Amino acid sequence: NAGVTQTPKFRVLKTGQSMTLLCAQDMNHEYMYWYRQDPGMGLRLIHYSVGEGTTAKGEVPDGYNVSRLKKQNFLLGLESAAPSQTSVYFCASKGATNTEAFFGQGTRLTVV
C-alpha cells in the first residue's frame, strides 16, 4: 500500500519555466490538498479538492493551478515559475470518514 506518492521528489527550475507536480493516492480518498512549507511559515494551503472534478483555492493560490480529473490524482501546476515559489511542496489526502490527513514525502523545488 503506497499511500500518497508525489512525483518528482526534487526539481530545479529556471525562472519562467513551467512544471507540473503529480500527487497520487491509492486509498480512495475524497479530499486532496496541496501545501507548501517554508521555514518559519509552517504548512500553507495552496489549493484543495473535495472530490473528483472539483478544486478550490486555499490560503496562497496565486501562481498555481490545479486539476483533479481522476479521483486518485491531484496535479499542481506552475505556469511561470518565480524564485518566491522555491519551497517544499506536500500533497495530502483524507477520506470522508477519516479525521486525519495522510501526507506524501514532499517535492523540493528550487527556482533559480
**Of the two residues 16 and 53, which places its CB atom closer to other proteins in the complex?**
53
Among 56, 70, 110, 112, binds other proteins (CB under 8 A): 56
Q: How far is the C-alpha of 106 from the C-alpha of 112, rounded, in Å?
A: 19
Which residue among 21, 25, 31, 78 contacts other proteins (CB under 8 A)? 31
Angle (CA) 88 7 98, round 5°:
80
Distance CA 28, CA 51 (A): 10
Find the binder of other proteins among 1, 2, 40, 62 (CB under 8 A).
40
Q: Buried (b) or exposed (e) across 60-87, using 16+ Cβ within 10 A? A: bbeebebebeebbebbbebeebeeebbb
Between 85 and 89, CB nearer to other proteins: 89
Q: Which is nearer to other proteins, 14 or 100 (CB)?
A: 100
Q: Which amino acid is at 85?
A: Q
3: left (phi over 0), alpha (psi -120 to 50) or beta: left
- Of 17 and 44, which CB lies nearer to other proteins in the complex structure? 44
In the list 13, 64, 81, 104, the residue contacting other proteins (rule: CB under 8 A) is 104
Task: Kindly list the residues in this chain that would bind other proteins in the complex (CB under 8 A).
Answer: 4, 31, 33, 40-43, 45, 48, 50, 56, 58, 90, 92, 94, 99-106
